[in-house]
Amino acid sequence: MAGRVVTPVVDYFTAQNFEQYCQLLAGQFPVFEAVRQQYGYPPMWQRPNSFESILRIILEQQVSLASARTAYEKLKAILPEVTATAFLELNDDELRQSYFSKQKIRYSRLLAQEIVDGQLILENLPLLHTEEIMGRLTQIVGIGEWTASIYCIICCQKINLLPLGDVALVNSMKNLFQLPASSDKADLLNQVQQFTQYKTIAAYWLWWHYIQQKKLAFY
């Protein structure tokens, strides 16, 4: 008998209940149970709530994780402590040597300046509802829904997000749930709604399946 998904009391998950939520979804969706039997539970990927973490997500926009990691490691070589203040001291040449594109230099500096000016206080964001965090971050040029969603998931552990702008998630969902390749956004949203308040947990299952199938490394 399929397990019953219980609506969480809070809008975030923790290291203590993450596997329990994974079990609940695996109980309701046989495809996730099949992933568990083959690969085990997904890791609870998370990063600190910091400028450095959002900067890494910006680097990951529209490129492979491997490419983003190379750029991040280049940056760390010249800036071991990646703070907003220290980042603003780097010039264009230093950032280009770290594989920052012209656009990402601009986006990253705008983010850093908001933090330095006290307009964006990262410590306060996890206390807000997901929609409020998304609304605040997407006011910053260069931070769209995908970037804000990934921040909410891996830095704030918000539980009810599955970003359909993430190609890996969409491809994994089409694969596991045998959705037509031509499925439009309405079809995908229909599928996502079945995950009720556990959309982020479903995203972890989908990422885990994609990573294992492609033999990738997530960091």
What pTM did the predictor assign? Answer: 0.92
Digit-coded pLDDT (tens) for 142-153:
999 999 999 999
Angle of helix 199-214 relative to helix 18-28, nearest 10 degrees, comes to 80
Which residues is 158 bridged to in the sheet?
12
The two three-digit tokens of residue 189, written as one number: 């949203």
Q: How far is CA 89 from the centre of its chain?
A: 27
Assess contact for 201 and 13: CB atoms under 8 A: yes
What's the pLDDT band for 9 if we cut at 50, 70, 90?
very low
Q: Answer whether residue 8 shows pLDDT above 80.
A: no
Digit-coded pLDDT (tens) for 68-97:
999 999 999 999 999 999 999 999 999 999
Q: How many degrees, rounded to 5, is the angle at CA 139 between CA 105 and CA 54? A: 50
Identify the structural domains of the chain with CATH numbers, from first to last.
18-44+161-214 (1.10.1670), 51-154 (1.10.340.30)
Calpha distance 25→54 (Å, rounded): 28
Query: Which percentage of the chain shows pLDDT scores above 90?
Result: 91
What is the mean predicted confidence (pLDDT) over 111-128? Answer: 97
Q: Which residues fall within 8 angstroms of residue 214, CB to CB, at 6 or more apart?
A: none
Calpha distance 166→218 (Å, rounded): 14
Give pLDDT, residue 216. Answer: 82
Q: Which residues fall within 8 angstroms of residue 139, CB to CB, at 6 or more apart?
A: none
Query: Letter for the amino acid at 151?
Result: Y
What is the mean predicted confidence (pLDDT) over 207-217? Answer: 90
Q: Answer whether residue 3 shows pLDDT above 70.
A: no
Q: Answer whether residue 7 shows pLDDT above 80.
A: no
Query: Which percentage of the chain shows pLDDT scores above 70?
Result: 95
Assess contact for 32 and 182: CB atoms under 8 A: no
